[in-house]
Amino acid sequence: MAGQTKSDSSGRSASATPRAIKGGKVAIFFGIDPRPIGALPAQSAATSLPCPVRRRQPVLRGVGHVPMHSGVAMSLPIQMLEAADAGRIEDHLLRLAPADRSLRFAAGLVVDETIRRYVRGIRFGTDAVLGVFDASAELVAFAHGCVYKVGERARVEVAFSVDVEWRGRGLGTALMAQARSFAESIGADSVVGMCLARNGPMRRIFAAASMTMTREDDEVHACCLLAGRAPLPMATAC
């Protein structure tokens, strides 16, 4: 779980964390595929099992897969979320326990209204808003990549949340990879993140993404300069 919590004039928002499936480790498939989930071909290593979408809800655009090896071959799609999914994002975040809310938003007590206000502020269509659904179409992992400007440069601040039963299975790592792909696709110069120093899972996600981490009091700030981007001036360095 990571730390997007506040909004400021630059448009930055606040941070987030993955229910577990019995058995097996997760192997991650990267890459963006703009086709609808139902049109995606079966993976050679695992039969693709798109998560069903309930009626009256939009068909979501698939951007990647999280294959889950649990005896029966299956995979969970990573989907780009739309404004119509705001209610499912809210439900997911409201399920977080108080301690998990504190880690996700890098704050103290996070009340329900704070979460509702945060969801209302998500800029669908501008930010990277990614989700993983289980077989019953419940959102179990969520990533928000908030796009903001530093001078003339775009930067993406990432945060993740994952239902408790799904943690430790690589969903956060998979979502980080897709957020990075998004950042590259819009020409951002870097991906950044922040979490509380005691947030071990988020620090492991930062480390797996080869992000440089620095500690400031009880916060850890992480940065990854994207390939082909010039080093940032010291005044605006990650």
The residue among 47 and 134 whose pLDDT is bigger is 134
Tokens of 149: 């400007």
Torsion, Cα 209 211 214 217, to 10 degrees, reads: -40
Mean of pLDDT values over 182-189? 94
Residue pair 237/230 in contact (Cβ under 8 Å)? The answer is no
pLDDT at 146: 96
pLDDT score of 21 more than 50:
no
Q: Tell me the β-bridge partners of 222.
A: 193, 213
Mean of pLDDT values over 139-153? 94
pLDDT at 62: 52
Our CA angle for 160, 165, 167, nearest 5°, is 45
pTM for this entry = 0.69
pLDDT at 55: 26
The residue among 108 and 67 whose pLDDT is bigger is 108
Closest CA to 179 of 16, 10, 9: 16
Q: Domains of the chain (ranges plus CATH)?
A: 37-236 (3.40.630.30)
pLDDT score of 167 more than 70:
yes
